[in-house]
Chains A and B, each alone.
Chain A
Amino acid sequence: MRWVAAWRERLRALIFRARQETELDEELRFHLDQETELLLEAGLDPQEARRQARLRFGGVERFKEEVREARGTGVIDCLMLDTRYAARRLTRDWRFTLPAVLILALGIGANTAMFSVVNRALFQPLPFADADRLVNIYQNVGESSQPWASSYPAYQDMAGYTDLFSGVAASMMPTQVRYLAGPLVRTGSAEYATSNYLEVQGVDLPMGRWFTAEEDRPGAAAVAVLGHQAWTSKFGAAPSVLGQTMRINGVPVTIIGVGPEAYNSNFHSGWVTDFWLPISSVTTVGGRADVLQRRDEDAFLVRARLRGGVSLPQAQAAMTALGAHLAKEYPDDDPGRGISVLRSDEVLVHPQFDTILGAGASILMIVVALILAIACTNLATWLLVRGLSRAKEMSVRLALGATRAQLARHLLVESTVLAGWVVRWVTSWRNGRFDWWRSWTCRWTQAVASTTGCSASRWHCRY
């Protein structure tokens, strides 16, 4: 493979540069010595022989330069030089650099934040084992009977269908709690869930354990599973959190586990749960006395795992029957409500939001792209103003023999360095709640930034 050899040689050249230079010197010196000797033998006096040898050889420095070029490190050398120079220059002109970075950070930051939500909701698969056997069950709502959420008694009815489901888990929509972390009172998000929540979804905990059925009984001592992100960002990923007692809403709660890294909340979206608590503690910790009894409290999301051999239509038929039964039994609370069964991997966030989510996401992406374009033009103008003040510098460079391509490359590198700084800044600044999607989001940001760098300098070069 020719290009492999070429790149290996190029890499070698970069790493062993100093050695290669001395080797080249030695090689050329050897050549000149040999040639001189040949001429001495032909009868020339030493001085003349030396001169003739050099004459026959041609310009030593010129050929050295050609050899270096042939090594193929020239491009890399120039880029490194340009980058270093650009960094120095931008640091010195901080009065120029600071606004430029701000302009770009706004554009890129908006873009990144938006992308991270869209990415999460639309492109990332569910982290569950055998996700195709998982279903979401919703009680319907409204005149057109749209899937919405379930009450806890309805969940208990659903959980009775053990012939259809190998497990049915419920979790309450995330609610806000206050908790004491060291001397600070913080607000966080809590999700009350059943003890089989983890098992049904097929997710593993990185540390500790989930609560048992015994711990999910009224009157049991309160325990909690700490969300992975809260664990890393608020508690420094310290293993010692296990067994610690923490006050959540004033109630002492013992931390028994750390939540999965890839799964942050029953709302598969930007929402991140800080604590998972047993569903029965919603009365003590959550302070909502009758939420588990009322049939008109649609606060629960139900997820079930189909038994082997049970199809989705079968489950749907059974749930429709249950819905009809509930409507007859509790005409006041469950008036004419149906029940919908949907495959979990076909629900992005919630069936009510999904339809508008796709369209909304594209519109939002377009809007942030426009913001970025505006930021780009602003930056280009800013660069242009600076370019005018640098006209003298540019003419000196041209006069000294720089080609236009070299000048353009220099400006390009400068803009890219600028954009690169913004990326570092933006990504370090927003590693709070969203760093869950770090990898893809970061790649996206980098792509955006390099495009921005290039297009801004394209404008820049035009002046």
Chain B
Amino acid sequence: MARNPKLEAFLEARFELDVAPPGEKAAKRAILHTLAEELLKGFRSVSARELIAITEEAYQEFRKERFLESQRRLSRLR
């Protein structure tokens, strides 16, 4: 499957925020925002929040892949 490294890194950072324990949420969100700001250098018309929202569809695909991968790993262990 074709991969876009920049998008992949961004989705990975969002996933890390999602699965982080409560005491690590602020730190993980800061990482996600730093990445968003780096990606948005030169794009004045897009905010970090809009970028996160715009990648929602791709993120759900990413999340689905991660879930199916964990299920496959579990079934191999059984």
A and B from one assembly? no
